[in-house]
Amino acid sequence: MAAEGPVSQLGDSQDRDAQLDALLGESEQLCADKRYDEAIAHLRAVIEQYPDSPLPHHALSVVCLMRLREDYEYLEVWEDLADDEAHFDAAVKEAEAALDLDEKFVPARNNLGTLFALRGWWEDAIRQWEVSLTLEPGQSQVREEMSDARRHLGE
């Protein structure tokens, strides 16, 4: 006879968490292999399966940010930036979706700050990082990024 009540629900929750971790691991491997389009499609399917979790939204935001950074590395003067704009918009949208599900989700806050800094939106980046540091004060890398942003503002 199967266990019922809170104990079985805990087991179901652990199984679900393990499944989500495995699916997120698959997307990480796709990114490591620079198969970004596949990672994006995979994560969109994961979001469908786990609509209440900020994790796949954040992971998708990170993939879009990775793709954007890679595009910047190879940017040519003559290139159309429409793809970059689409990657940026998608990364912001997914980071915000993660924060809509959990406003204290620090990785999404940091990612949003990084995205804003890439655009030179220093005040917006600093606001995100300030919230992040309020939630988790020990983030030395975020403090450094915020100092850099303040230097850009002349502070």
Q: What is the pLDDT of residues 89-120, one digit of tens each?
A: 999 999 999 999 999 999 999 999 999 998 99
Q: What is the pTM of this model?
A: 0.83
SS3 75: coil
* Residue 139, token pair as written in the block: 């983030």
Half-sphere exposure of 50 (CA within 13 A, CB side): 24
Q: Let me know if the fold of 15-102 is the same as that of 105-155.
A: yes
> 15-102: what fold?
1.25.40
Q: Where are the domains of the chain?
A: 15-102, 105-155
Tell me the CATH class for 105-155.
mainly alpha
Full 3-state SS string of 78-108:
CCCCHHHHHHHHHHHHHHHHHHHHCCCCHHH
At which residue do the structure tokens 């999404």 appear? Answer: 108
